[in-house]
Amino acid sequence: MNCKRDRQAKPPAPQRRKRYSFCDAGGSACDSAIICLCLSLVLAGCGVQAKSNPQDEAPPAAEVVPAGNSSVVTVDHPEQFAVVTAGKYDAAPELNVTGTVTPDVSRNIPVISIATGRVLEIDARLGDTVTKGQLLLKVQSADISGAFSDYRQAVADEVLARAQLARAKTLLDAGAMAQKDYEVAVDTEDKAKVTVETAEDHLRVLGADKDHFTAIVDVFAPVSGVITDQQVTLAAGTQGLASPNPFTISDMSHVWIVCDVFENDLKSVKLGEFADVRLNAYPDRTFRARVDNIGPILDPNIRTAKVRLEVENSGLMRFGMFATATFHGMEKQISAIVPSTAILHLHDRDWVYLPGGGKSFRRAEVLGGITLPDNTQVVSGIKPGDQVVRDALVLENSVEQ
């Protein structure tokens, strides 16, 4: 009766109607609530569906178990990692170093003007290719005027001395002059000739012509080459030897390759031997250079010595270009050669994996050499005939996983 009064006072939800109807059919309200709760849990458990995991259907991966030694690893399926035999490579050792193209200082010729004055004309500039005897600039100089004045006075004195000597000769033959006076006249005439010759040399050094009086000096190229330095401009003044050289001409038919060679590699470089030079700008061209000098002082910071190579320039080399020099050893050495994939570069070192017997592999450090098509030379660490893992990176990745 109480249950009926509750239903009349507040209509229950549909779920509650089911529960109360079941409660009416099965017994008391408390017992029916417990039964309903149990049925709900059973129905919820039956409604859960198990989902399949794709990883359970994949084949098991190769398990790698590191051994006690960090350089030795153990795998469950060693047949997954192919093994190859190191080949034999017979070649002379090589040393590759970097360098730059620099001018041969013995072929750098300064252009100088002895005369002091003002620049009136410039007929060449930095970077031009000039030939020997080509006009480079004109200088207006007061030194030339003074030199011409001295020359003309010397010529006049020499004419007078020559006339006096002729007169003294006549008097000496007539017995009207003493021998000593005649000798004085001869000495005066000789000194006058010396003065004239000195004045001519002075004009020639200044760049003037004694037969054409002018206060302008023409400065010509002393050699053929390229102007690599210019220190003069139009209307500027030049102080002769006291000022910077107006121009510097470089003969670029031969240049230097200056390389930095580490202290431990100096044993591979010898004076008089030849090296192959390749320019970064022209990697397909090879130039033959001779070792001209090995620096006697090492750089204390990077422990390298300057090695100077002399090479003939075909016109491609320009000052400042980067180059690579390859020095070849005289005696051939036998080393191993393996596929490039067999070498693992790790922590700035080269490694290979060697079969350790059973299911283990051992990682060994090697020293790589030159790179060949699909193969790499191994200078030390293994020898021809040793077996190595073909794909070292695949094995290394399996170890890390």
* Region of 236 on the Ramachandran plot (φ > 0 left; ψ -120 to 50 alpha; else beta): beta
Contacts of 136 (CB under 8 A, 6+ apart): 111, 122, 123, 124, 130, 219, 220, 221, 246, 247
120 and 241 part of one domain: yes
* pTM to 2 decimal places: 0.56
Strands (E), 158-231: 216-220, 225-230
Tokens standing for 50? Answer: 């198990």
Distance of CA 19 to the CA centre of its chain: 90
Q: Report DSSP letters for 78-147, one per residue.
A: GGGS-EEE-EEEEE--EEEEEEEEEE-GGGEEEE---SEEEEEEE---TT-EE-TT-EEEEEEEHHHHHH
144 and 198 part of one domain: yes
Residue 96 lies in a domain: no
pLDDT attached to residue 232: 87
Tell me how many domains the chain contains.
4
Residue where one domain finishes, among candidates 208, 228, 245 = 245
pLDDT attached to residue 216: 86
pLDDT tens, residue by residue, 96-135: 899 999 999 889 999 988 888 888 889 999 989 999 999 9
CATH code, 386: 2.40.420.20
254 and 229 part of one domain: no
Residue 105 lies in a domain: no
363 and 258 part of one domain: no
pLDDT attached to residue 17: 43
Residue 278 lies in a domain: yes
Instruction: Characterize the bridge pairing of strands 254-262 and 94-103.
Output: antiparallel
Contact between residue 283 and residue 125 where contact means Cβ atoms under 8 Å apart? no
CATH code, 305: 2.40.30.170
Distances (CA, A) of 101 to 257, 274, 291: 5, 16, 14
Burial of 202 (0-12, 13-18, 19+ CB in 10 A): buried
Residue 106 lies in a domain: no
pLDDT tens, residue by residue, 26-62: 444 445 556 655 555 544 444 444 445 555 555 566 5
Question: For the chain, what is the largest distance between any 2 Cα atoms, rounded to a whole number of angstroms?
Answer: 190
Q: Domain span at residue 375? A: 72-91+332-400
Looking at the DSSP bridge assignments, the partners of residue 117 are: 141, 238
Query: What pLDDT tens digit does each residue of the chain (401 aa) get?
Result: 344 444 444 444 444 444 444 434 444 444 555 665 555 554 444 444 444 555 555 556 656 555 445 688 888 888 888 999 999 887 777 788 999 999 998 899 999 888 888 888 899 999 899 999 999 998 888 888 888 999 999 999 999 999 999 999 999 888 888 999 999 999 999 999 999 999 999 888 887 888 888 888 888 999 999 999 998 888 787 777 767 888 999 988 899 999 999 998 898 899 999 999 999 999 889 999 999 999 999 999 989 999 999 999 988 999 999 999 999 876 677 889 999 999 998 888 899 999 988 889 999 999 887 788 888 988 889 999 999 999 999 888 887 76
What's the CA gap between 219 and 211, in Å, rounded? 18
Residue where one domain finishes, among candidates 305, 328, 351 = 328
292 and 373 part of one domain: no
Contacts of 379 (CB under 8 A, 6+ apart): 93, 335, 366, 367, 368, 369
Residue where one domain finishes, among candidates 245, 277, 302 = 245
121 and 164 part of one domain: yes
143 and 85 part of one domain: no
Residue 102 lies in a domain: no
Coil, helix or strand at residue 192? helix
CATH code, 175: 1.10.287.470
Distances (CA, A) of 357 to 351, 385, 387: 18, 16, 12
